Amino acid sequence: MKRKLTTAILLVVVLTLIMSSVIYSDGEIGLLTQEVVGGVVASQQVVSMSGVTDSYLLVCRYCIPNAPPTYNFGTLNQGQIAVTGLSQFTVNNYGEEPIDISIRGTDATGTGTDWTLSDTATAGADTYGLYAGLSGDDYNIVVRKTSPYNNLVSGLAAGGSQDWGIELHAPTSFSDWNAKTGNITLTASLS
């Protein structure tokens, strides 16, 4: 059975493109003594605190925090290719088992004409492309908006981490020069 946890990275494109991440984690990590597992829901365990009536903690079992949460590409020209660097972000497996992490993106929206995310990372009129890449490699992973999504990392060991980055291909022509916002989502599943 595969368990999934999603981490979203907010991608803001203006001709200034800012990337920011929001980590969805309903669990809290804390020191528990004499914990009793009450059940497993997706990637969370309900844990009863011994001696405290009706007191429960949700413990995140498969967390994949991504840092840093923001990146600013600055002002982009039509047809420009901009990169973060292949060690700009670090994804961590704070879970108990090896995981695979897929990556997907969305259209960039804002005032005026939205930018469509190309599933082939090919830029066009009001269409942009995204590649991801791992540290020590290249930007060779297409970030798609439609399934099937590509893997960013396969078999990331428990307690392991992976540096990665993004390459953005700005549209070849813009209908306007307004800020645009989109999302990049990382989804973890057990290897």
Q: Does one domain contain both 42 and 120? A: no
pLDDT the model gives residue 56: 46
Number of domains within the chain: 2
Element of type H or E holding 130: strand 127-134
Q: What is the pTM of this model?
A: 0.71
Beta bridge pairs of residue 36: 48
pLDDT the model gives residue 60: 52
Give the residue from 39, 62, 85 where a domain finishes.
62
| Six-digit token string for 84 | 């973060």
| Six-digit token string for 95 | 């879970």
pLDDT at residue 181 greater than cutoff 90: no
- State what percent of residues in the chain have pLDDT above 70: 64
pLDDT at residue 97 greater than cutoff 50: yes
Q: Does one domain contain both 78 and 30? A: no
pLDDT tens digits along 50-79: 555 554 444 455 566 677 766 777 788 999
Nearest to 184 by CA among 64, 20, 5, 13: 20
Q: Does one domain contain both 172 and 88? A: yes
Q: Does one domain contain both 135 and 70? A: yes
Q: Does one domain contain both 42 and 70? A: no
For all residues of the chain together, what is the average pLDDT?
74
pLDDT the model gives residue 61: 54
pLDDT at residue 126 greater than cutoff 90: yes
pLDDT tens digits along 4-51: 444 444 443 333 333 332 323 333 333 333 333 344 334 444 445 555
Q: Does one domain contain both 111 and 170? A: yes
Give the structural domain span for 41.
26-62
Q: Does one domain contain both 14 and 71? A: yes
- Mean pLDDT of all residues in 155-174: 92
Q: Does one domain contain both 111 and 183? A: yes
- Mean pLDDT of all residues in 118-143: 97
CA pair distance 126, 130, nearest whole angstrom = 14
Q: Does one domain contain both 45 and 121? A: no
DSSP-assigned states of every residue in 38-88: EEEETTEEEEEPTTSTT-EEEEESS---EE-SEEEEEE--TT-EEE--TTS
Q: Does one domain contain both 42 and 124? A: no
Q: What is the DSSP letter of 135?
A: T
